[in-house]
Structure formats: C-alpha cells, structure tokens
C-alpha cells in the first residue's frame, strides 16, 4: 500500500444521518470512485501529556493546534506491518500533516522509550519535529481510537477525497495496536463523520447536494468527544462497558 507522507490541504467535516449518508453514496456514484480497499479499519494510538494538555488545548478551539498519533490499518497490527507516526498541525483551517513510515514494532518501541529508529535522510526533519513535540510536552501513548472508513476520490480530481467514518470506539487499556481494534463504542456518535479533503474549492455538484439535503459543515473531534464523554461519565459515577469489534 502506497501513501503520501506530506500533506497541505483543507479538511472540512460534516455529520451525516443514515438517510443523508445513503443519498450521498448514490450522488457520489457518478462523480467519485471508491478506493481499492473498500470499508477498512483504521487503528490509532493518540499521544498526550499526563495532564492531557493536547486534547484540552484542542477543545478550546485555538487558531493553531497540533496532535501526534501512531496509525496502522486492519483489525490488528503485526510487528512487520507498515505503520505511520504522524504529526498533524492545523492553522486557520489549513491542515499540514507529515509522517514517518516504518514497521509498527520500530515505531511502537521508539514511542515507548525504546531505541531511536534509523531514519532515512529525507525523513530526518520530520523525525526532529516529532521528537521535539514529544519532548516538549512529555507525550506518552494515551489512548487507542479505531473506526471503520470508506474513502473515495474524485473522477476528475484525484486529490479531492471524501472519507466516511463510523463505528468509533476506544480504549485506555492495552495501548498497543497488536492487541486488536476492540474498544468502547463512542456514545452519541453520528451515523457517519464525513470529511472532505481538498486543495481547492468544493465541486458544485456537492455544494448543491449539501443545500438540497440540509447538510452543514461542523466540528467533530473523535478524541475530543471520547474525552468529554469520559469526563461526564466520571462526574456522574457511571461505569462503562467494553465492546469487542
């Protein structure tokens, strides 16, 4: 599987109910093509400080924010599976993402205090950014967040992409993607979180669809909503159950 490791683009989120989702799939059929992987599982380890400064800052909606995650694809990672350590920055609506691609074991061992990986010359600047971010906030692997995704790319513009995410789940225990994609289902999540990734304007056919079906841009953070649910659960003394995906 080949991935680009540097991005600069606009990303906009929309929360869809089931009816809107089904209508969108029908509309997209003549404008976009599903990627070759179909519906697939994305697994992430998100990093934060002991005091959870990263997510708290993100929820305050600053002009600039950044996050770090370790990502792999599938139901469970293996030592030799390719994985990505990603630093994602957002400034005034523009997303900048840079990442290292290595085997899962090398990246997992590194972020858990193990040996520094041998980084190719072309990736050293990215590695230095990531290492500085980790050391500055004393980041540690904090939470596993998984979800199922279907992705599409434009027929006329391959850089125009739409992703549809659902079945968002998370866990604080066993913060290792080799343990699988199980987790507690996010309470109150939308039917699908739609994300548009575009370097230019949204196509007119999609603008028209949004208008006709009352679909509006919104803000939705998977980690942010999980964190807020946990805070509410702790305040109310509620116990949570684990869901095996």
Distance (Å, rounded) from C-alpha 191 to C-alpha 182? 19
Q: Residue 217: CA atoms inside 13 Å, Cβ hemisphere, count?
A: 9
234 backbone dihedrals φ, ψ, rounded to 5°: -65, -40
Q: Which residues pair with 63 in a beta bridge?
A: none
Distances (CA, A) of 29 to 21, 33, 75, 80, 188: 13, 7, 28, 36, 29
Residue pLDDT tens, the chain, 245 long: 445 566 677 889 999 999 999 999 999 999 999 998 889 999 999 999 999 999 999 999 999 999 999 999 999 999 999 999 999 999 887 889 999 999 999 999 999 999 999 999 999 999 999 999 999 999 999 999 999 999 999 999 888 999 999 999 999 999 999 999 999 999 999 999 999 998 888 999 999 999 999 999 988 999 999 999 999 888 775 544 433 33
Domain residue extents for the chain: 6-236
pTM over 0.85: yes
CATH 3.20.100.30 fits 6-236, yes or no: yes
Q: What sign results for the dihedral spanned by CA atoms 177, 54, 187, 95? A: negative
Neighbour tally for 202: CB within 10 Å: 14
Q: Which two tokens stand for residue 122?
A: 């072309």
Q: Which residues contact 135 (CB under 8 A, 6 or more apart)?
A: none
Q: At what angle do helices 204-213 and 18-28 cross, to 10 degrees?
A: 150
């Amino acid at each position: 599987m080949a991935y680009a490791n540097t991005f600069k683009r606009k990303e906009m989120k929309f929360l869809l109910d089931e009816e809107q989702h089904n209508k969108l799939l029908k509309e997209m059929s003549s404008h976009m093509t599903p990627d070759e992987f179909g519906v697939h599982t994305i697994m992430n380890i998100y990093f934060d400080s002991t005091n959870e400064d990263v997510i708290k800052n993100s929820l305050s909606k600053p002009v600039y924010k950044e996050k770090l995650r370790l990502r792999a694809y599938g139901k469970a990672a293996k030592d030799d599976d390719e994985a990505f350590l990603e630093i994602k920055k957002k400034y005034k609506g523009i997303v900048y993402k840079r990442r290292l691609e290595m085997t899962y074991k090398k990246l997992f061992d590194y972020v858990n205090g193990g040996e520094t990986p041998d980084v190719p010359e072309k990736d050293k600047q990215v590695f230095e950014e990531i290492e500085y971010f980790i050391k500055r906030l004393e980041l540690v692997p904090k939470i596993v967040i998984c979800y199922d995704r279907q992705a599409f790319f434009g027929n006329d513009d391959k850089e125009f992409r739409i992703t549809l995410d659902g079945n968002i789940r998370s866990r604080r225990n066993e913060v290792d993607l080799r343990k699988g994609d199980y987790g507690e289902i996010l309470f109150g999540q939308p039917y699908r979180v739609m994300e548009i990734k575009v370097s230019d304007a949204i196509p007119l056919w999609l603008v028209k669809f949004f208008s006709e079906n009352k679909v509006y841009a919104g803000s939705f953070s998977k980690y942010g909503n999980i964190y807020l649910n946990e805070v509410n659960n702790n305040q109310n003394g509620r116990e949570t159950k684990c869901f095996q995906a």
